[in-house]
Structure formats: C-alpha cells, structure tokens
C-alpha cells in the first residue's frame, strides 16, 4: 500500500456531502434510539447487584434460576457467558442485603467450588459516577480545544472537536442499537477514544498545515480541496496501518479477552474505526469548508477596501 498523491486519484473532498450525510443519518438514528430505548445501563449507573457465577460445567439460564430460587432469591435477569456457557450472570434490581449475598456466595461455592463475583451499587453512587463521567468528557473536550487552538488554529480545533463528538456519539449510538450493558470501563473506553480520535485527526491536520505553507496560492475552494486531498493521500498509509495495528490489539482483547473486558474492547474497536473514518472523511472536509468560507470572506473584505479606496 503506497499512495502517491500525484498519481492516486482519490478525491476525498468532492464526496464530502455524502460522508456528511452518512454520518448525519447514523448519528440521528443513534440520537433517536438513545432518547427512546436509551443505553442498557449496567448496575454501575443504575443501582442493584450483579452476581457472576462460575460453574464447573455448561449451565442453562433455567438451572441458574433454579439454584437462586433454592435459596429464596429471584434474579431480574440472567445471562450466560463464557466459552462453554459456564458463567451465569444474574442481575438483581435493588441492592441485595449482605446476608443474601453471603448466602448466595456460600451456596454457589458449595455447588461449583468457586465463589461468585458480586457487585452492588446504591443509586447515589451510580448517579455520581454518570455525572462525573459526563463532566470528565466535557472538561477533556475543552482542554483539547484549547490545546489545538494554541498549537494550530481555532478552526482546526473546531473541526477536531466536531469529529470527536462524532466518534463519541457513534459509540453511544452503536451501543444503543446493540443494547450491550454499559459499565464504568465503557466510560474509560469512550474517554480513550476521545484521546485517540483527536490523535488521529491531529496527524492529518499536521500534514494539511505543512502543505498549506508549501502552497503558493490558496484562494478558492478548489485550492483548499487540492491541499486537503494531497495531505490525506500522503497520510493514508499511516492512517490505515495505525488503525489496523491498534484494531489488532483491541480486537484480540474483544475476541480472547473474556467477558470482564468485552464491553470495553468493543467500545474501543468501534471507536477506533469511527475515529479513523472521521479524521479521513469528516474532520478534514469540515476544515476545508470552514477555510474556504474564511477565504471568501477575506476576499470580499479586501474588495470592499479597494472599492472604498477608489
């Protein structure tokens, strides 16, 4: 894979409206889903108890339910996990009392020889966690905008943040569609993607900035799109290779990493792909549109000045 910007005929800017439309549709669908069915919030964000039971053999939901019934507990939801369906996850809405928890742990330890994992959260803690996560995201965004504006220009920062929100929303939309349980590591994944997405965008912007300096005249939208296309093609091999290698790592975690980090790794994989997509097809194009508008305004201004002088 080598991309020569003089011979490669890829016009990223020309099709910008298609990319914008594609993302807009996906994100609108996501927002609609988020506001209707919403996310499948794990007990980290609502409140309740989850209990992971590791059995020594393949189990069914009915078996797990029966075992819980035998000690007088009725889980609100039971799902199976593990390669051979040997992990049962029972979710209880509302926090179990300590006696109930201990009773269940003893029961399953006797039954399968291993102590179940129990996690419970009261509503206050869950709400606080969700709030803190949101605040963290906003603060991170402000910090990044400030940094990019200082190192580059405000317009780059603006385009980068739009791409960043695009990626964060993209992950949320996907999780709203597939209804996987969202937990604290998910928040960690979203925040990592925010860092990563900006990372990706910065690399292409870096090249655009460099190529802008090399250009003798950039006056029209055509000039701007030429620079953007050239920069994107020059960084294309890097963009593809980087996302491929990182997806190798995140993908291995997703496939082989076990249930405990599955949500985390899926969010990473989705976010990485979205991040690369947005820096190739959204951020640079958006910057091109903004830049062209700025150039146009500057031109009118200089015409005004000339007219008034005349």
Partner 1 sequence: MKKKKRGVQKWRIAVFFVLVAFFAGLIATNVTDHADDIRLGLDLQGGFEVLYEVTPVGEDQEVDRELLTDTVAAINARIDVLGVSEPNVTIEGEDRVRVQLAGVTDQQSARELLSTEARLSLRDVEDNLLLDGSDFVEGGARSNFHGETNRPIVSITLRDANQMAEVSRHVMEYDPPDNRMAIWLDYDEDDSFAEEINKEDSKIVSAPSVTRVLNTTDIMIESQTFTVEETQHLAGILNAGALPVQLDEIYSNSVGASLGERAMDLAITAGFIGIALIFAYMLLYYRFMGMIAVITLSVYIYFVLVVFNWMNAVLTLPGIAALILGVGMAVDANIITYERIKDELRSGKSSMSAFKAGSRRSLSTILDANITTILAAGVLFYYGTSAVQGFAIMLITSILVSFITAVFGSRLLLGLWVNSRILNKKPKLFGVKESEISEL
Query: Considering beta carbons, is residue 22 or 147 the nearer one to partner 1?
Result: 147
Q: Tell me which residues in 236-265 interact with partner 1 (CB under 8 A).
A: 237-238, 241-242, 244-246, 248-253, 255-261, 264-265
- Residue 234: C-alpha distances to residues 28, 39, 219, 227 (Å): 32, 39, 22, 11
Q: Distance from first CA to last CA of the chain, Å, rounded?
A: 55
Least distance to partner 1, CB of residue 83, Å: 9
Least distance to partner 1, CB of residue 21, Å: 28
Contacts of 101 (CB under 8 A, 6+ apart): 49, 51, 118, 120
Residue window 70-109: x/- pattern of binding to partner 1, with contact defined by CB under 8 A: -----------------x----------x--xx--xx--x
Q: Tell me which residues in 115-154 interact with partner 1 (CB under 8 A).
A: 115-122, 124-125, 129, 132-133, 135-136, 139-140, 143-144, 147-148, 151
- Let me know: does 31 contact 173? Beta carbons within 8 Å: yes
- Let me know: does 45 contact 181? Beta carbons within 8 Å: no
Least distance to partner 1, CB of residue 278, Å: 15
Least distance to partner 1, CB of residue 306, Å: 38
219-226's contacts with Cβ under 8 Å and 24+ in sequence apart are 219/295, 219/299, 220/292, 220/295, 221/288, 221/292, 221/295, 224/13, 224/288, 224/291, 224/292, 224/295, 225/11, 225/13, 225/14, 225/288
Q: Tell me which residues in 189-228 interact with partner 1 (CB under 8 A).
A: 191-192, 194-196, 198-200, 202-203, 206-207, 210
Q: Tell me which residues in 263-302 interact with partner 1 (CB under 8 A).
A: 264-265, 268
Query: Considering beta carbons, is residue 286 or 292 the nearer one to partner 1?
Result: 286
Least distance to partner 1, CB of residue 35, Å: 25
Query: Considering beta carbons, is residue 254 or 282 the nearer one to partner 1?
Result: 254
**Which residue in 31, 91, 184, 212 binds partner 1 (CB under 8 A)?**
184
Least distance to partner 1, CB of residue 213, Å: 12
Q: Tell me which residues in 18-57 interact with partner 1 (CB under 8 A).
A: 52, 54
Query: Considering beta carbons, is residue 84 or 222 the nearer one to partner 1?
Result: 84
């Amino acid at each position: 894979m080598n991309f020569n910007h003089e011979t490669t005929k890829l016009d990223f800017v020309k099709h910008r409206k298609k990319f914008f439309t594609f993302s807009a549709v996906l994100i609108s669908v996501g927002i609609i889903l988020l506001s209707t069915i919403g996310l499948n919030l794990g007990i980290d964000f609502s409140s309740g108890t989850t209990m992971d039971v590791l059995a020594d053999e393949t189990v069914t939901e009915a078996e797990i339910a029966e075992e819980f019934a035998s000690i007088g507990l009725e889980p609100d939801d039971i799902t199976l996990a593990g390669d051979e369906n040997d992990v049962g996850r029972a979710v209880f809405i509302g926090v179990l009392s300590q006696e109930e928890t201990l009773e269940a742990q003893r029961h399953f330890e006797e039954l399968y020889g291993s102590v179940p994992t129990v996690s419970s959260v009261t509503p206050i803690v869950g709400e606080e966690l969700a709030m803190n996560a949101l605040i963290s995201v906003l603060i991170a965004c402000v910090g990044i905008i400030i940094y990019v504006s200082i190192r580059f220009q405000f317009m780059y920062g603006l385009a980068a943040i739009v791409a960043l929100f695009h990626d964060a929303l993209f992950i949320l939309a996907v999780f709203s569609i597939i209804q996987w349980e969202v937990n604290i590591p998910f928040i960690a994944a979203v925040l990592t993607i925010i860092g990563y997405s900006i990372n990706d965008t910065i690399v292409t912007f870096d090249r655009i900035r460099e190529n802008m300096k090399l250009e003798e005249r950039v006056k029209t939208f055509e000039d701007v799109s030429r620079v953007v296309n050239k920069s994107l093609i020059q960084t294309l091999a890097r963009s593809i290779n980087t996302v491929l290698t990182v997806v190798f790592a995140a993908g291995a975690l997703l496939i082989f990493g076990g249930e405990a980090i599955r949500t985390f790794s899926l969010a990473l994989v989705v976010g990485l792909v979205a991040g690369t997509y947005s820096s190739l097809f959204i951020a640079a194009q958006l910057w091109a549109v903004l830049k062209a508008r700025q150039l146009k305004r500057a031109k009118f201004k200089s015409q005004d000045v000339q007219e008034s002088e005349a």
